[in-house]
Amino acid sequence: MVATTDISVGSGANERGSLHLIFDADDTLWENNIYFEQAIAEFVALLDHSTLTPPEVRAVLNRIEHATIGAHGYGAAGFAHSLAETFRELAEGDVTDADVERVRALGVRILTQEKEILPDVETTLAELGRRHTLAILTKGNQEEQELKVERSGIAGYFAHIEIVAEKETEVYRRLADIHGWWPTTTWMIGNSSKSDINPALAAGLNAVYIPHHATWSMEHQDIETPNDAGRLVTISRFSDLLGYF
């Protein structure tokens, strides 16, 4: 059983829309990973390692993040933990509790940063919502993702907002069954080939890939192009959705 949380029913959503359009949130609707990248750059500067290059420091952080996601999940809290563990492993000289808390704060502050909606998102959602039923499917820490949605100011465009621990094929199948998202009339829209595109296609849904220049490296994966080419669309701008839907 995969735990999900449906936290909102948007008053502006069109429940009688002819299609179901399911949107990823982070780096599809609003900026997200750029804040993590900024924190990593500050962390590398703070560490100021005498022999390791910034890419080598980043490689250690990636290893630790990958190893701890299962226990700490996605999001700022888990990221802060990974920064602290990386600092403990790489710091040269004595490490004090104050040092660790300073590093941890780089990750925790992401929780309080304002959400920057990506270009044309709101106007595009408003138009799409007149014709179709819209939903959000996002993964991560439940409280963090709820906070992002609340602070984004765009929750009202969506009929459903689902928060899951992982976006895997079985999750898409289960949610499609729960909400009546028929494969032929449902599209998953997002920037992650690993979490948005490939598992949605494997579940029998259609997908729209919108690349983002700062997609998290752990979300990179070759797209598994379906035999029916019409099930996968790649666009460069969010507003391009209006040309398809």
Per-domain boundaries in the chain: 4-31+115-243, 33-112
Q: 4-31+115-243 adopts what CATH topology?
A: Rossmann fold (3.40.50)
pLDDT under 70 in the chain at which residues? 1-17
Q: List 161's β-bridge partners, or say none.
A: 136
pTM reported for the whole predicted model? 0.88
Architecture of the structural domain at 33-112: Orthogonal Bundle (1.10)
pLDDT at residue 4, rounded to an integer: 52
* Order of strands, sheet of 186-190, starting from the edge strand that comes earlier in the sequence: 4-6, 160-164, 133-139, 20-23, 186-190, 206-209, 232-234
Over the stretch 178-237, which tens digit does the pLDDT of each residue have? 999 999 999 999 999 999 999 999 999 999 999 999 998 888 999 998 988 899 999 999
Residues constituting the chain: 245
Q: Which residue has the tokens 């080419």?
A: 229
